[in-house]
Amino acid sequence: MAIITPSFSKVNIGLKVLNQRDDGYHNIYTIFQEIDFGDLITIEKTDLDCIILSNVDWIPRDESNTCYKAYNALKKIHPELGGVSIKIDKNIPTGSGLGGGSSNAGAVLNGINKLYNLGLSFTELEKISATIGADVPFFIKGKTQLGEGFGNQLTPLADTVDGTFLLIMPTISIKTEWAYSSVKNKLNPNENLPNFSGFFNGDYTSLKFIENDFERIVIPAYPEIGAIKQKLLEMGARFASLSGSGSTVYGIFDEDASIKEAELFFRPSHQTILAKPT
Query: What pLDDT score does 5 carry?
Result: 97
The distance from CA 61 to its chain's CA centroid, rounded to whole angstroms, is 21
Answer whether residue 156 shows pLDDT above 90: yes
Q: Give 63-75 pLDDT, tens digit per residue.
A: 999 999 999 999 9
194-205 mean pLDDT: 71
Q: What is the pLDDT of residue 202?
A: 66
The C-alpha atoms of residue 250 and residue 240 are separated, in whole angstroms, by 6
pLDDT at 189 over 70: no
Return mean pLDDT, the chain.
92
**What domains can you pick out in the chain, each with its CATH number?**
2-156 (3.30.230.10), 164-275 (3.30.70.890)
Catalytic residues: 10, 135
Q: Phi/psi at 277 (nearest 5 deg)?
A: -65, 145
The predicted-structure confidence for 81-119, as pLDDT tens digits, reads as follows 999 999 999 999 988 999 999 999 999 999 999 999 999
